[in-house]
Structure 1
Amino acid sequence: MIVGGSVAVVVVVAFGAWLGFTAREAKANLEEARGHAQIAKDALLDGDTEVAQRSAADADKYASRAYDNTHSIPWSITAAVPVLGSPLATSQQISEVVRGLTHDVLTPAVDAGSTLAPDQLIEGGGRVNVQSLRDAVPVLDQTSVAAQSLSDQAQSIDEATYLGVVNEARTALQDQTAELSKLLSNTAIAAKVVPAMLGGDGPRNYFLGFQTNAEARGTGGLLGGFGIVRANDGSAKVDTLASNSELSLAEKPLDLGPEFEARYGASRPTTDFRNSNLSSHFPYAAQIWKSLWAQESGEQVDGAVATDPVALSYVLGAIGPVTMPDGEVINEDNVVELTESTAYTRFADDNNARKQYLQTVAARVVDKMTGKLSSPQALLDALGKAAGEGRIAVWSADPALQQVLSGTKVGNVVPDDAAPYAGVVVNNQGGNKLDYYLSREIEYVADSCVDGTRSSTVTVRLTNNTPAGEFPDYVAGLFETVGNVPKGTNAVDLSLLATQGATLDKVTINGAQQFVFTGSERGHPVFNIRAMLQRGKTAEVKFQLTEPTAPGEARVPVQPLVDSPNVTVDVPNCGS
């Protein structure tokens, strides 16, 4: 008995020591896989195909070793033990996802990816190699599908009952696979739409709108200037740069349907450029801009693009500063303040000079973007960041291309599905430029999914940070005098596009109940209030709702203004 017991002890100790050794081996192999994957990614972006392929193979080798470490018979036996084996079971699931990433995503992406290296994709003069993009579509589709499947697999990895380091690895993997899946999906979509939009099938022309988000509009800001982008065989040039005053009031209104007319018709958005983008649904603004330009010039464009000074700051960070005719240097640090604040004071008595100044800034940036680039990767990163924040929006008049764009971030569409939604939209009612000083906070919270409906609250805090001092009336005055409202007061039109089927219980501003305008947009109920926000003051607006317990992740799109608002979402997902 003593001998038998001693043997058992030795076996248990040896088994434990083996598990400890294997765990260290698995961890080391996973770290090696991650390191080689990073090297492969960097080499791919640098166009070094040989290093990328070698590093991808090494990443796959170490990921396979980690998989073998965690799927041996002793490990699997221990992983099956309730509670005790939980971290081992979680480690098995982690290694399965990592091996899938290196084998099914990284390796094929590297094998086909040399043509997508930024220095190969963007050639001299800023020309995009559209054929390389088209050639990459099959492998991008393949890796995008694989990445989505692995992301779903990662999200379902069990949480370990102990060993925080395993749970930290689990969370990191879930975040990274979700991000990778989104990136590859967007890249696959870009490979399908960019060649056609950049003139791969013949010349294409686009209306380019520069939005001044110091005066808020639904898609970002007032249409302050515009240009016409002419694309052909991967090259794009901007001409006809002009201020908004070059767009006359149109004679022929555009029919965007009875719902649009009921909500916005009184503001004449389809004939007056100043109100052309009150809606946050970019395809409406794009179609209006197309119509306005056709009536102004007789030219029918193939689509529309919008951007803003914050996006320009990202671009300048990638391509370097530009110099104005008088020697003034415009860079990533000063372009937003110069174009959205300083210019209004500098040219307070000469509006035409201000518009010419802004036009020159845009022209200098565009010229440098479309010239020889020192770092194509940096420019792509900058454009990606701007697009991710909604600061670049794209619409195509081609229905097939637009169908693809509408499912992406750059489409900037108001979705017409039933999933939880809180679209908070600010429109400037004062005709001034005080939204440069506006900051926002947004919270969307909802009860559990127990019943068919649930209570929810959308809280919006708006703060007027206009500093002390005198400003031109054009900046801080009101378009129409309202009682004894002091200069520097921001007249805010605030809309909430709520979940489809939601009903409003009440709206308060700083606790006081408010009168509400109601309407609908793309199937969403819209609740609208007006607020006079004095200098230095905060208005807390609460929309209290009853909404359906619809399945899907809650969405709170962020209107691209000057600030970067804090957004908090606490809305349970009521199933798929």
Structure 2
Amino acid sequence: MGLHWRRLTGGDEAEQSDDGQPWLKRRAVIWPSLGVLVLLLAFGCWLGFQANAAKSNLEAARNSAQQAKSAVLQGNTGDASRFALDAQSHAQAARDAAHSLPWDIAAAVPWLGSPFETGQQISDVVLNLATDVLKPIADAGTTVSPNHLLADGRLDVMTLRNEEPVLQKFATDATRLNTQAHAISEPAYLDAMVNARSQLQAQTEDLSKLLTNTALAARLAPAMLGADGPRSYFMGFQTNAEARGTGGLLGGFGIVRFDDGKPSVDTLASNNDFGSRKFDPISLGPEFDNQYGYTNPSTDFRNSNQSSHFPYAAQIWKSMAEQSGIKVDGVIAVDPVALGYILGATGPVVMPDGETVTKDNAVELTESTAYIRFPNSEDQRARKRFLQDIAAEVVKQVMGRVKSPRALLDALGRAVSERRIAVWSSYPEEQALLEQTPLAHTIPDDPAPYAGIVINNLGGNKLDYYLDRRIEYVADGCSGATRRSTVTVRLKNNVTSPESLPDNVAGRLGFSPNHGANLIPKGTMFTSVRLLATRGAKLIDVMSNGSQIDARADTERGHPSFEALVVIPAGHTDEVIFHLSEPTSPGVARVPIQPLVGPVTTKVSVPQCAG
């Protein structure tokens, strides 16, 4: 009763809690705390709203950019400009969100603000990409679209030449933005932001390479394709069922002429035309002569392209062509896999006898079936004529009306990226530009980590159609002037029934009778495995299936070259391991892929060291 009275009368006791704490003092603490909590919640909601706005607008910008790119390639100027404008609008909205007040505050917090700072940098690059590159490309889309430049088998070389300054500006802007993208700081945490940064860097790098190569093409193509007068090129068809350094054995050739962007073919022949002639040798320098000279590469077409450095083979083929009375301005190489890609874009061809060659059967037909169909030595001319006729029909199709120029260019681009098309020019200034593109297929002259595996068939057969390759390049860290590295090459002979194959496929022509060739099982591969290593690398040893073997050491274009010989029976695998000591060189490690029939699996575990 007394307690009730005191509370009603408002005595001092009524202002105290059970533990004696004054209520007013507690209220003075609680209300500010609640206020801070409300502000934090409001700030979090505001920041979350801006983060969602940035994310959704960046995704919308990416989608619109992809639609703009497709419209440009199709020559649809209206849609290209509309989608590019949408991309720019979304990119601006994303940047506004990423530079809003709550985002600026969050980005300023040490460590915790790292992802927000990265997000701001990403939004800046995306907006600049949409404004400085994508929108101008879309506005100029009609003149540079494949449908506009390529029609009725002719490339509009003069339009391409006139647009070269504009294309060069696009390339310069894209390169600048690629540099900015790679300067974006790595967030301290938040995997989503790490992935967004990596994706943007990959996209800007691809775009920079694409536009740089396009600008180079605009400088190169007009002259090379006859804008200033007719040009002629030796076109070699490589049979990569019998491996050579640039891909495969020279199986046939043609002379392609270009006049004002219009191609024509007036000569197609098999390698018999070269095999029946005697050529005067040429020298490609003491280094080349020391490594390959004993095989007579400049006089025997079968050994003309053992090196993976395409300009060597090109100069030899040019010499052979001109000693045969045919003057050429350069050399083009192509293989059956590339022809298959082209048929996928142009449609199948029907041979005079009614047989249909498609994208799905072109490789098998030319690399396997033809040899089984013509198994005997007396059939070889018929087989080569058959392959020559297929190549001629494909070339005719490319040079005629193409339904989808974009599809054709995509097919050619895929073949180039896989090193299945190579180009060399006898004009030094053009060749210098070519060597800045994927078309040149050169051995690089720089110190960056390098592991080029080159396979050459020594068995005189076509067993590389059945070859499976796996390559792994591993190196230690960046401390010290040198480091240990290992290059592992696993070669599997996938022949399952060697006795069912004719001798021209699975025979032992390359095995010496003095070494018991008749005792070697049919279907056995006799293979040269050459490693072109990082400049300055030293060989420690070479192992084959666990046993140490000898290796021949040479030098090619400044790279140490180590060649091992292996014999692989049908159904077996040989694992060749090169143990090295190499300089701790700056740069990204490279493992170029030799274009044989099947794909190759590669694994690179080499840290990138600073300069």
The answer to whether the superposition gives a TM-score over 0.5 is yes
Aligned residue number for residue 236 of structure 1? 263
Aligned residue number for residue 151 of structure 2? 123
Distance 1:239 1:362 in 2: 13
Matches within 5 A, 1:149-168: 149-168=176-195
**Could you tell me which of 469, 488, 502 is aligned with 2:523?**
488
Deviates more, 1:20-29 or 1:254-263: 20-29
8 Å Cα contact 1:36/1:59 also seen in 2: yes
Matched residue SS, 1:230: strand
8 Å Cα contact 1:109/1:139 also seen in 2: no
Distance 2:532 2:31 in 1: 76
Matches within 5 A, 1:136-155: 136-155=163-182
Aligned residue number for residue 443 of structure 2? 414
Matched, 1:104 2:132: yes
Distance 1:223 1:145 in 2: 39
Distance 1:105 1:186 in 2: 15
Aligned residue number for residue 291 of structure 1? 319
Matched residue SS, 1:566: strand
Distance 2:574 2:264 in 1: 44
Distance 2:146 2:279 in 1: 45
8 Å Cα contact 1:218/1:426 also seen in 2: yes
**Could you tell me which of 495, 499, 502 is aligned with 2:534?**
499
**Could you tell me which of 591, 599, 603 is aligned with 1:556?**
591
8 Å Cα contact 2:249/2:302 also seen in 1: yes
Matches within 5 A, 1:183-332: 183-247=210-274, 248-297=276-325, 299-332=326-359
Displacement after TM superposition at 1:153 (Å): 2.4
Aligned residue number for residue 39 of structure 2? 11
Aligned residue number for residue 23 of structure 1? 51
- Any idea what the Cα deviations from partners look like across 1:402-428, whole Å, max 9, x if unmatched? 001112211000111111111100001
**Could you tell me which of 379, 383, 388 is aligned with 2:417?**
388
Aligned residue number for residue 539 of structure 1? 574
Matches within 5 A, 1:317-466: 317-349=344-376, 350-466=379-495
Matched residue SS, 1:271: coil
8 Å Cα contact 1:440/1:565 also seen in 2: yes
Distance 2:163 2:278 in 1: 43
Displacement after TM superposition at 1:75 (Å): 1.0
Matched residue SS, 2:608: coil
8 Å Cα contact 2:50/2:100 also seen in 1: no
Displacement after TM superposition at 1:295 (Å): 0.6
Distance 2:494 2:289 in 1: 34
Deviates more, 1:538-547 or 1:462-471: 462-471
8 Å Cα contact 1:250/1:292 also seen in 2: no
Matched residue SS, 1:279: coil
Displacement after TM superposition at 1:488 (Å): 0.4
Distance 2:452 2:60 in 1: 44
Displacement after TM superposition at 1:467 (Å): 2.2
8 Å Cα contact 1:133/1:195 also seen in 2: yes
- Any idea what the Cα deviations from partners look like across 1:132-169, whole Å, max 9, x if unmatched? 21122222222222222222322333333443333332
Aligned residue number for residue 32 of structure 1? 60
Aligned residue number for residue 478 of structure 1? 508
8 Å Cα contact 1:500/1:525 also seen in 2: yes
**Could you tell me which of 53, 78, 82 is aligned with 2:106?**
78
- Any idea what the Cα deviations from partners look like across 1:372-415, whole Å, max 9, x if unmatched? 11111000000000000000000000100000111221100011
Distance 1:251 1:280 in 2: 22
Matched residue SS, 2:561: strand
Distance 1:419 1:26 in 2: 39
8 Å Cα contact 1:250/1:295 also seen in 2: no
Displacement after TM superposition at 1:466 (Å): 1.2
Aligned residue number for residue 567 of structure 1? 602
Distance 2:421 2:145 in 1: 23
- Any idea what the Cα deviations from partners look like across 1:473-516, whole Å, max 9, x if unmatched? 11111113442211100100111111111110000001100011
Displacement after TM superposition at 1:241 (Å): 0.6
Q: Given residue 249 of structure 2, which amino acid in structure 1 is its aligned partner?
A: L
Structure 2 gap segments, 5+ residues each = 1-27
8 Å Cα contact 1:280/1:425 also seen in 2: yes
Structure 1 gap segments, 5+ residues each = none
Displacement after TM superposition at 1:83 (Å): 3.4
Matched residue SS, 1:491: strand
- Relative distance call for 1:550 and 1:249 in structure 2 (3 A) is farther
Aligned residue number for residue 94 of structure 2? 66
8 Å Cα contact 2:541/2:548 also seen in 1: yes
Displacement after TM superposition at 1:437 (Å): 0.5
Displacement after TM superposition at 1:82 (Å): 2.5
Distance 2:90 2:166 in 1: 23
Displacement after TM superposition at 1:438 (Å): 0.6
Displacement after TM superposition at 1:11 (Å): 2.0
Distance 1:335 1:315 in 2: 10
Distance 1:39 1:434 in 2: 45
Distance 1:475 1:5 in 2: 85
8 Å Cα contact 2:298/2:316 also seen in 1: yes
Displacement after TM superposition at 1:112 (Å): 2.1
Matched, 1:49 2:84: no
Matched residue SS, 1:410: coil
Matched residue SS, 1:36: helix
8 Å Cα contact 1:249/1:272 also seen in 2: no
Q: Given residue 83 of structure 1, which amino acid in structure 2 is its aligned partner?
A: W
Distance 1:411 1:435 in 2: 24
Q: Which has the larger radius of gyration?
A: 2
Matched, 1:87 2:106: no
Matched residue SS, 2:187: coil
Matched residue SS, 1:269: coil
Q: Given residue 488 of structure 1, which amino acid in structure 2 is its aligned partner?
A: G
- Any idea what the Cα deviations from partners look like across 1:161-220, whole Å, max 9, x if unmatched? 443333332222122222112111111111111111100111000000000000000000
Q: Given residue 168 of structure 2, which amino acid in structure 1 is its aligned partner?
A: D
8 Å Cα contact 1:108/1:139 also seen in 2: no
Q: Given residue 331 of structure 2, which amino acid in structure 1 is its aligned partner?
A: A
Show structure 1 runs of 4+ deviating over 4 A.
Answer: none
Matched residue SS, 1:409: coil
The CA RMSD measured in Å over matched residues stands at: 1.3
Distance 1:6 1:467 in 2: 78
